[in-house]
Structure 1
Amino acid sequence: MNGDAEGQGAQSTEADLNDDPLHQTEAVREYFGDAYPRVERYAIMLADQGVLRGLIGPREIGRLWERHILNSAAVAPFLGDGTIVDVGSGAGLPGLVIAAMLPERRVVLVEPMERRTTWLFEAARECGIENVTVVRGRAEEVSEAVEGDVITARAVAPIDRLVKWCAPLLTAGGEMALLKGRSAPEELDRAKYVLRKFGLTGSVESAPTLAGLEPTTVVRLRRAA
Structure 2
Amino acid sequence: MTARAALQTKLEQGIDALGLQLPSDAVGRLLDYLALLGRWNAAYNLTAIRDPDEMVIRHLLDSLAVLPYVQGDTLADLGTGPGLPGIPLAIAAPGRRVLLVDSNGKKVRFLREAIRSLKLEGVQAVQSRVEDVEGQFDCVTARAFASLADMLTWGGHLLAPQGIWLAMKGKTPDDELPGVPSAFQVRSIHALTVPGLGAAERHLIVLGRAGC
How high is the TM-score relative to the length of structure 2?
0.84
Aligned to 1:156: 145
Aligned to 1:96: 87
Q: Which runs of 4+ in 1 moved over 6 A?
A: none
**Equivalent position to 2:116, from 118, 122, 125:** 125
Choose 1 or 2 for highest CA Rg: 1
Distance 1:208 1:51 in 2: 30
Aligned to 1:175: 164
Q: Is 1:41 aligned to 2:32, yes or no?
A: yes
Aligned to 2:183: 198
Distance 2:125 2:196 in 1: 33
1:1-225 alignment, distance < 5 Å: 18=3, 23-25=7-9, 26-28=12-14, 32-34=22-24, 35-57=26-48, 59-142=50-133, 145-182=134-171, 184-187=172-175, 190-195=176-181, 197-210=182-195, 216-225=202-211
- Shift in Å at residue 49 of structure 1? 1.8
The aligned length equals 202
Secondary structure, in 3 states, of the residue corresponding to 2:43?
coil
Distance 2:179 2:146 in 1: 17
- Shift in Å at residue 128 of structure 1? 2.5
Distance 1:67 1:21 in 2: 18
- Shift in Å at residue 198 of structure 1? 1.5
State the percentage of identical aligned residues: 29
> Gaps spanning 5+ residues in structure 1: where?
1-14
> Gaps spanning 5+ residues in structure 2: where?
none
Structure with the larger helix share: 1
